[in-house]
Amino acid sequence: MVSRGGLCADLVLVNGKVITVDPEDSIVEAVAIKDGRILATGPTSDVKGLIGEGTEVMDLGGKTVLPGIIDTHTHPSGSAVRFSAINCRSPPIKSIREILDLIAAKAAEVESGEWIRCVNYNDIKLSERRHITRWEIDEVAPENPVFISKETGHLYVVNSKAFEVAGVSKDTPDPDGGKIDRTEEGEPTGLLYETAGRLVSHLMPPASVEEVTEGMRQVWDQFAEWGITTTHDASGHRDAVRAYRNLLDEGFRKVRVLLMMSRRSDGVDILSSLESLGVRSGFGGEWLKFMSLKIMGDGSGSGGSAAVYTPQHRGMMDLGLMTTSEEEIKELTVRAHNADIRVSIHSIGDRGIDAALDAIEAAQTSNPKPDMRHRIEHNSCCTPKQLERIKALGVTPSSSIGYMYGIGDDYVENFGPERVRWLHPHRTMQEMGIIAGGNNDYAVTSYSPFVQIYEAVVRKTSSGQEVSPEEAISVRDAIRLYTWNGAYLGKEEDIKGTIEPGKLADMAVIDKDILTIPHEEVKDIKVLTTIVGGEIVYLRDK
């Protein structure tokens, strides 16, 4: 077929149901792509006019197409090094005994004194519903330091050998922003909250850039299988950036990355480095771009260390922790703001969110700058009081609605019914005109974006417990959460987030019509094809 005016596309998708997520929520049949961007959309009969001799044609056979998924808070580099650790995720792990058996098997393989690292641990999902103690670990690995991290990464359990190597004893004081759990006699149990984990973790041998690079291949393969075409890395650091560059230089290009650079990385004051270089938010290209300074605020909702106004029911059983002091959060935020650098502040509890908003308000009051789009990461327990402030300050929350499925039961138990009413309040944010993105904090929870979209729509945990159903949104709005809204949070809505001419050709073909199937089936949607920059980066086996 001859192309219109001699112009032909590189790739054309025809005979489909293309959910464009444009301002009119248009649905079209076909898309034409050229030079990595969308050339045209419309009826199949029209778009076929752009087919030339070298055009690749994909007949969708009625299948549904979405803009590429944008997950606005993940930890790709941290996830990359987890592949070499013992995986304690439940399911399938059911008990403390199973974890101890895995540690014992590893101790039998490695040399005496070699570190054993375990990840994805969650005490509430074990049959005993309690934490492992250091003495239990001692029984199976007396000569190896063992470091176990919770799914959320905010809570850790170590054995006596790890304490010995780190010089931690009964007399060791709690560090700022952390807590050492102790028996009634004051003896450390092995459980460490927040910054107390650093008393031990800094002694573990770090992964090499090569190891991070190799692990990243697996992460990118998983993201491509899930239809994720852009992610916002919430723990950017030097070796992660080097790994990303390695993959890009090799031509291994499957996922675009926006970086939240951790405020301290490898002992370096990142903000001072950015200021001295004159780097502003938005520096970079279409594959790798600096977005913001990441600041840790409060603790974990699942682990019971989030900063709240009334006591929690799990973990520390109190008002929680600010892992960075409110004064320091404010100082960092004002400095970043003045340097045209956005901030992304980890905030889960209502008190933690207020601390982040206090800092952003101080920055905007002293030096008003429109459309900075400073971010709150997770934004979990967010009451009407905080929502009003978010709206007034133009803050863009990256909401961890994806938590609902994997650790939603933890949150319900920890926060109680009054606070859970305001857990990830998407309908209220939408009604107020607050633009929020969505995430599941991979690998804190590890589910496809369609499980996350399902959660925004049905508000059920994996056990079937319903959580604040008043905050449910429609399927269309949940799709927008992970497409256009995600692009807006990255200040990239002009180049991605919808299927419109001129935008990057990032999209996903899925196996079910997400707009018509029963809501319970949304979580089971599979991606058939993922396209990034007009190139097919994932094709599901038939």
For the stretch 145-172, pLDDT in tens is 999 999 989 999 999 999 999 999 999 9
The answer to the question of residue 246 being in a domain is: no
Asked whether residue 48 carries a pLDDT value surpassing 60, the answer given is yes
**What pLDDT shows up at residue 240?**
95
What contacts 184, CB < 8 A, 6 or more positions away? none
φ/ψ of 188, rounded to 5, equals -60, 130
> Structure tokens of 513?
């019509």
Percent composition of the chain: helix, strand, coil (DSSP 3-state, to 5): 35, 25, 40
Residue span of the structural domain in which 95 resides: 86-201
Query: With contact defined as beta carbons under 8 Å apart, do 143 and 112 qualify?
Result: yes
% of the chain at pLDDT higher than 90: 96
By DSSP bridging, strand 155-158 and strand 188-194 are antiparallel
Cα separation, 325 vs 238, in Å, equals 24
Determine, yes or no, domain membership for 432: no
C-alpha angle 17-531-38 in degrees, rounded to nearest 5: 70
Residue 134 lies in a domain: yes
- Give the CATH number, domain containing residue 160: 3.10.310.70
In a domain, 98, yes or no: yes
Instruction: Please determine, for residue 456, whether its predicted confidence score (pLDDT) is greater than 70.
Output: yes
Residue 366 lies in a domain: no
Q: Are 73 and 378 in contact (CB under 8 A)?
A: yes
Map tokens 């405020």 to a residue. Answer: 263
User: pLDDT, tens digit, for every residue of 488-536?
Assistant: 999 999 999 999 999 999 999 999 999 999 999 999 999 999 999 999 9
With a pLDDT cut of 70, the percent of the chain lying above it is 98
* Residue 80 forms part of a structural domain: no
Q: Give the mean model confidence (pLDDT) for residues 416-426.
A: 96
In the sheet that 155-158 helps form, which strands lie side by side, from edge to edge? Answer: 86-87, 116-121, 146-150, 155-158, 188-194, 178-182
Cβ proximity of 83 and 215 under 8 Å:
yes
Which pLDDT score is estimated for 459?
98
Q: What distance in Å separates the CA atoms of residue 124 and residue 313, rounded to the nearest whole number?
A: 12
The confidence band for 268, taking pLDDT boundaries of 50, 70 and 90, is confident
CA dist., res. 384 & res. 386, Å (int): 5
Q: How many structural domains compose the chain?
A: 1
User: Once rounded to an integer, what is the mean pLDDT over residues 272-292?
Assistant: 97
Model confidence pLDDT, tens digit, residues 134-149:
999 999 999 999 999 9
Closest CA to 476 of 15, 14, 27: 27
| pLDDT for 4 beyond 90 | no
Q: What is the 3-state secondary structure (H, E, C) of 147-204?
A: EEEECCCCEEEECHHHHHHHCCCCCCCCCCCEEEEECCCCCEEEEEEEHHHHHHHCCC
Q: Could you tell me the pLDDT band of residue 85, with boundaries at 50, 70 and 90?
A: very high
CB distance 402 to 447 below 8 Å: yes
Cβ–Cβ < 8 Å for 236, 344: no
Q: Are strands 264-265 and 268-269 parallel, antiparallel or unpaired?
A: antiparallel
Q: Decide if pLDDT at 407 tops 70.
A: yes
pTM for the full model? 0.95
First to last CA, the chain: 29
Interatomic CA distance for residues 311 and 205, integer angstroms: 37
pLDDT for 2 equals 34
pLDDT band at 1 (very low <50, low <70, confident <90, very high): very low
Report residue 38's pLDDT band, with 50, 70 and 90 as the boundaries. very high
Look at residue 524 and tell me if it is in a domain. Answer: no
Q: Per the domain annotation, does 79 fall within a domain?
A: no
Q: Which amino acid type is present at position 469?
A: P
